[in-house]
Chain A
Amino acid sequence: MAKRVAIVGTGQTFHKSHRPDVNGQELINEAVVKALADANLKMKDIDAIVIGNMDHFEGINYVDCWSVDGSGGTMKPIIKLTTGGTTGCTVAIGGYHLVGSGMFDKVLVIGWEKNSESDTTGAITTAFDPVWDRQVFAGAISGLAAEAQAYIARYGATDRDGARVSVRDRKHAMNNPYAQLRKEVTLEEVLASPMLADPIHLLDVCPRSDGACAVIMASEDTAEKICPKPDWIWATAARHTYSYLGDADFGRLTSMKEGSQELWKKAGIKEPRKEVDVIELYQPYSFGGLIWIEDMGIVGPGEAPRYIWDGNTDMGGELPINPSGGVIATNPIGATGLIRCAEAAMQVMGKAEGRQVPDVNFAFSSGFGGCFWTDMILHGKKKPK
């Protein structure tokens, strides 16, 4: 890597179920203006833009061009990256590569979605093979449900363990003014909510949201001049494991396991549970909050329920997860991974206000796609070696 890269500013919208008061460009613009203000930069300072959203969600397939009125991309280098659910994390990784290459000094990264404008089921179905998997489909939630069933069968977990994760994230969302759903729920309310696909209840899963997020990255040449305490990007990873759903190891997230091992190795982290201070996990359903932290190596296989019941991942615990309320509280899909990245950056920069975790040295953020692909970023306070 030619240049070290840091995040020097972030911005996001107040996420809602519907934003009929703005069109897509105007929604994007709200996040961009906030990120520029946070970094104390002007649009003319930006050298390139990376933008992304979920394919088919708004039915506009030249978003890089169409969005320039809101993104500031008029007559600037702008590129669209889209990878389904991981899009928001992928655009951040793309921005990191552009700045790290030394070819662009300051890059604006944007993720956005107006989920209210889409047929979510129809759009998500296009993420699966048309000849094989789509012919015998049962909806995206069924794929996640099958993952949870396999985990439950393997380790003896219960639907109460999943519900505990949902209770945590919804409680954390109370501290985040940008979250869409800000209502605490009880374990009993989660378990009594309608069953969508066994063992997943309605309150175990994310909502649909309209929202946008923007992040500004700068090279080591200017980062500390723009921002005295920037968020340094230490490492990124991306993994895919299958073409057909039957190839995946249901009950384990292999892409998370391999990707996070790459992160820990790059950063020299031996014990992620002790060395990472906060996690913003792209966790669209509660059971992912159990399974995937085991794949990250935070705890061993089958140990997540105990670790979570003991309060270790709550605010004030050993390793708080999703201080923002996470995806279960807010899910404008193309923005969701970038919101994780921005929230992790805010934690490192000390700008997370009511949801700040004290003394963050390392933070982890991730993206998750369709079924079982994963992108991730390791953020740090210190400049990488």
Chain B
Amino acid sequence: MSDQFQGIAPMVYQSKINVPYSWWAGDTATRFFVALRDEKKITATKCGTCGKVFLPPRKACPLCFTANVEWVNVSDEGTVLTFSVARRQLAAIPHDRKIPVIWGLIKLDGADTAILHYLDEVKPEDVIIGMRVKAVFSETRKGTIRDISHFKPVK
């Protein structure tokens, strides 16, 4: 590397720019989060044209482009479509999740799309694609997707 410098060590300037954001979830997602927080219910929107049930709920069907006006309840049980095991404690992983973190896509019964979440109460080597899992709700719920703590195997 030093041969690049031609006798001059370049200066380096450090920065920690702080750029705060507030993201409005909107009416549709908020309705989902309120039902999750207050009633431990998992809800989704259904397209009146193609009949597809979307989770996360979509205000309009992305394919038909018509408004999704119908809400349905979906099960708190579903199937693991795929997963991975994160072996490094990356900054993007919430601090309360310690490696190995099992992360996957879960298709809940009654929904046509999968949601992303953590799997727990299971060893990484025991997780298989196709296994049945059930939502474990957080004790203190604040109206976020982490009001579901994780999914655990159905015994």
Q: A residues touching B (Cβ–Cβ < 8 Å)?
A: 18-21, 59, 119, 121-122, 124-125, 130-143, 145-150, 153, 194-198, 200, 243-247, 250-251
A20-B4, A21-B4, A139-B92 are known contacts. Are A149 and B82 too (CB-CB below 8 A)? Answer: yes
Interface string of B1-43 (1 = CB under 8 A from A): 1001110001010010100010101000100000000000000
Selected from A138, A147, A150, A244, the residue in CB contact (under 8 A) with B90 is A138
B113–A150 touching, CB < 8 Å: no
Q: What 9 pairs between A and B have smallest CB-CB spacing?
A: A145-B84, A246-B114, A138-B103, A150-B82, A139-B90, A198-B85, A138-B86, A153-B129, A21-B4
A244–B113 touching, CB < 8 Å: yes
Q: Which of B69-77, B115-123, B133-141 contacts A (4 or more CB under 8 A)?
A: B115-123
Chain A contacts for B87, CB-based, 8 A = 194-198
5 contacts between A and B (CB under 8 A): A21-B10, A121-B91, A131-B29, A131-B145, A132-B116
Interface string of B81-117 (1 = CB under 8 A from A): 1111111101111100000010111010000011111
Chain A contacts for B15, CB-based, 8 A = 59
A149-B84, A198-B85, A244-B56 are known contacts. Are A136 and B118 too (CB-CB below 8 A)? Answer: yes
Q: Give the tally of cross-chain contacts (CB within 8 A).
A: 127
Chain B contacts for A245, CB-based, 8 A = 105, 116
B103–A142 touching, CB < 8 Å: yes
A150–B129 touching, CB < 8 Å: yes
B4–A138 touching, CB < 8 Å: no
B103–A136 touching, CB < 8 Å: yes
Chain A contacts for B103, CB-based, 8 A = 136-138, 142, 146
Tell me, yes or no, whether B47 is within 8 Å of chain A by CB: no
Chain A contacts for B81, CB-based, 8 A = 150, 250
A136-B116, A246-B105 are known contacts. Are A121 and B1 too (CB-CB below 8 A)? Answer: no
A196–B88 touching, CB < 8 Å: yes
Chain A contacts for B82, CB-based, 8 A = 146-147, 149-150, 153, 250-251
Interface centre among B1, B4, B84 (most CB of A within 10 A): B84
Chain A contacts for B144, CB-based, 8 A = 131, 135
Tell me, yes or no, whether B62 is within 8 Å of chain A by CB: yes
> What's the Cα separation between A18 and B2 when bound, in Å?
11
Interface size on B, residues (CB 8 A): 46
Interface centre among A59, A134, A142 (most CB of B within 10 A): A142
A59–B17 touching, CB < 8 Å: yes
A132-B116, A244-B56 are known contacts. Are A197 and B146 too (CB-CB below 8 A)? Answer: no
Chain B contacts for A148, CB-based, 8 A = 84
Instruction: Identify 5 new A-B residue pairs, CB closer than 8 A, beyond the known A197-B84, A246-B56, A246-B116.
Output: A138-B92, A139-B90, A146-B105, A147-B82, A153-B129
Interface centre among A20, A59, A197, A250 (most CB of B within 10 A): A197
> What's the Cα separation between A364 and B109 when bound, in Å?
41
B84–A125 touching, CB < 8 Å: no
Identify the closest chain B residue to A194 (Cβ). Answer: B87
B56–A132 touching, CB < 8 Å: yes
> What's the Cα separation between A142 and B12 when bound, in Å?
32
Tell me, yes or no, whether B53 is within 8 Å of chain A by CB: no
Identify the closest chain A residue to B97 (Cβ). Answer: A138
Chain B contacts for A149, CB-based, 8 A = 82-84, 129
> What's the Cα separation between A83 and B2 when bound, in Å?
34
Chain B contacts for A19, CB-based, 8 A = 4
Give the distance to chain A from B65, nearest Cβ to Cβ, in Å.
14
Selected from B25, B55, B101, the residue in CB contact (under 8 A) with A131 is B25
B86–A132 touching, CB < 8 Å: no
> What's the Cα separation between A119 and B10 when bound, in Å?
20
A125–B12 touching, CB < 8 Å: no
Chain A contacts for B10, CB-based, 8 A = 20-21
A142-B103, A146-B104 are known contacts. Are A135 and B145 too (CB-CB below 8 A)? Answer: yes
Chain B contacts for A200, CB-based, 8 A = 84
Chain A contacts for B25, CB-based, 8 A = 131
Chain B contacts for A243, CB-based, 8 A = 62
> What's the Cα separation between A251 and B83 when bound, in Å?
11
Give the distance to chain A from B141, nearest Cβ to Cβ, in Å.
13
Chain A contacts for B55, CB-based, 8 A = 246
Tell me, yes or no, whether B153 is within 8 Å of chain A by CB: no
A136-B117, A138-B101 are known contacts. Are A197 and B23 too (CB-CB below 8 A)? Answer: no
Give the distance to chain B from A22, nearest Cβ to Cβ, in Å.
9
Tell me, yes or no, whether B124 is within 8 Å of chain A by CB: yes
Give the distance to chain A from B5, nearest Cβ to Cβ, in Å.
6
> What's the Cα separation between A348 and B29 when bound, in Å?
50
B104–A20 touching, CB < 8 Å: no
B105–A139 touching, CB < 8 Å: no
B21–A133 touching, CB < 8 Å: no
> What's the Cα separation between A132 and B29 when bound, in Å?
9
Chain B contacts for A132, CB-based, 8 A = 29, 56, 115-116, 145
Chain A contacts for B90, CB-based, 8 A = 121, 138-139
